[in-house]
Amino acid sequence: MHSFALSRADDPAKAIAAHARDERLAFIAGGTDLLGLMKDRAALPERLLDINGLADMARIEALPDGGLRIGALARMSDVAANIDLRGRFPVIAESLLFAASGQLRNMASIGGNIMQRTRCAYFRDDDGPPCNKRRPGSGCSARYGRNRNHAIFGWSDACVATHPSDLAVALAALDANVVVLGLAGERLIPFTDFHRLPGSTPERDNMLGRGDLIVAIDVPPRVEGRASHYLKVRDRESYEFALVSAAAAVATDRRHLRSVRLAMGGIAHKPWRLAAAETALRGVSLDDIDALRSAIAESFIDVRPLDHNGFKVELAQRVALRALQTAGERA
Ligand SMILES: Cc1cc2nc3c(=O)[nH]c(=O)nc-3n(C[C@H](O)[C@H](O)[C@H](O)COP(=O)(O)OP(=O)(O)OC[C@H]3O[C@@H](n4cnc5c(N)ncnc54)[C@H](O)[C@@H]3O)c2cc1C
Ligand code: SF4
> Which atom, in ligand 1's list, is nearest to the CA of 100?
5
Verify whether ligand 2 is closer than 6 Å to residue 292 (CB atom).
no
| Cα–ligand 1 centroid distance for 116 (angstroms) | 5
Q: Evaluate if residue 55 carries a pLDDT over 90.
A: no
Q: How confident is the model at residue 57 (pLDDT cuts 50, 70, 90)?
A: very high
* Residue 2 pLDDT > 90: no
**pLDDT grade for 128, boundaries at 50, 70 and 90:** confident
Mean pLDDT over 306-331 rounds to 98
Residue 222 has pLDDT above 90, yes or no: no
Mutational test site, ligand 2, from 117, 120, 143, 155, max ligand atoms within 8 Å of CB: 120
Separation of 132 CA from ligand 2 center, angstroms? 6
- The pLDDT score that the predictor gives to residue 226 is 94
- The per-residue pLDDT for range 295-314, each reduced to its tens digit, is 999 999 999 999 999 999 99
Protein residue with its CA nearest to atom 53 in ligand 1: 32
Query: Ligand 1 pocket, 28 CB below 6 A?
Result: yes
Q: Give the position, in ligand 2's atom list, of the atom nearest the Cα of 139.
A: 7
CA of 33 to the centre of ligand 1 (A): 5
Number of other residues whose CB lies within 10 A of the CB of residue 145: 16
**For residues 41 and 44, what is the distance between their CA atoms, to the nearest angstrom?**
6
Q: Which residues of 24-44 are buried (b: 16+ CB within 10 A; e: fewer)?
A: ebbbbbbbbbbeebbeeebbe
Of all protein residues, the one whose alpha carbon is nearest to atom 13 of ligand 1 is 100
Residue-wise pLDDT for 180-210, tens only, equals: 999 999 999 999 999 999 999 999 999 999 9
Residue nearest to atom 8 of ligand 2 (CA): 131
- Percentage of the residues of the chain whose pLDDT score is greater than 70: 100
What is the predicted pLDDT for the residue at 1? 72
Q: Mean pLDDT across the stretch 118-137?
A: 96
Residue 27 predicted with pLDDT over 80: yes
In the reported structure, the alpha carbon of residue 127 is separated from the centroid of ligand 2 by a whole-number distance in angstroms of 14
